[in-house]
């Protein structure tokens, strides 16, 4: 992949940005993330406020960002969006090992939305804004649900 033109930054705050240019920026950013992850050696880590993420953790975060924000945008337009169940399951399993399992709540997309504070589930209240992810590899999970310990930079 070689650049042939300037790419619109995905978060440039331009309310008048054309949709095709914005989508191009998302695709370009996702491609860059995947190429960086593909170049990571086993055991390599990168900084994330939620912990030292490995390639699998960064990939899951990128996928989560895309599908969760598509959901948010669709709702803003009065539309619905559902990520594919298998993708939702993979994201949830990697970033939220404390999520209700499929026996407790079979709909994995809804489980992912619960994990990211977007919906309540039967018997589980909606999480507050301090929900968080497990960025580090799963074998480093301490068995506790992660919560944000400092405000995010975007607040």
pLDDT at 24: 80
Q: How far apart are CA 25 and CA 74, in angstroms?
A: 18
108-148: pLDDT as tens digits: 999 999 999 999 999 999 999 999 999 999 999 999 999 99
Give residue-wise pLDDT tens across range 63-115: 999 999 889 988 988 999 999 999 999 999 999 999 999 999 999 999 999 99
Query: pLDDT tens digit string along 51-65?
Result: 899 999 999 999 999
């Amino acid at each position: 992949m070689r650049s042939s033109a300037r790419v619109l930054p995905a978060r440039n705050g331009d309310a008048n940005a054309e949709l095709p240019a914005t989508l191009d920026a998302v695709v370009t950013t996702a491609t860059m993330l995947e190429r960086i992850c593909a170049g990571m050696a086993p055991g390599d880590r990168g900084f994330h406020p939620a912990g030292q993420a490995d390639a699998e953790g960064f990939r899951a975060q990128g996928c989560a960002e895309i599908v969760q924000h598509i959901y948010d945008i669709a709702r803003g337009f009065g539309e619905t969006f559902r990520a594919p169940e298998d993708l939702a399951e993979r994201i949830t399993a990697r970033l939220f090992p404390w999520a209700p399992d499929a026996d407790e709540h079979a709909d994995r997309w809804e489980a992912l939305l619960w994990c990211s504070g977007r919906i309540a589930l039967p018997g589980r209240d909606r999480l507050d804004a301090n929900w968080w992810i497990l960025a580090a590899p799963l074998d480093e999970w301490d068995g506790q649900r992660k919560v944000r310990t400092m405000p995010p930079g975007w607040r």
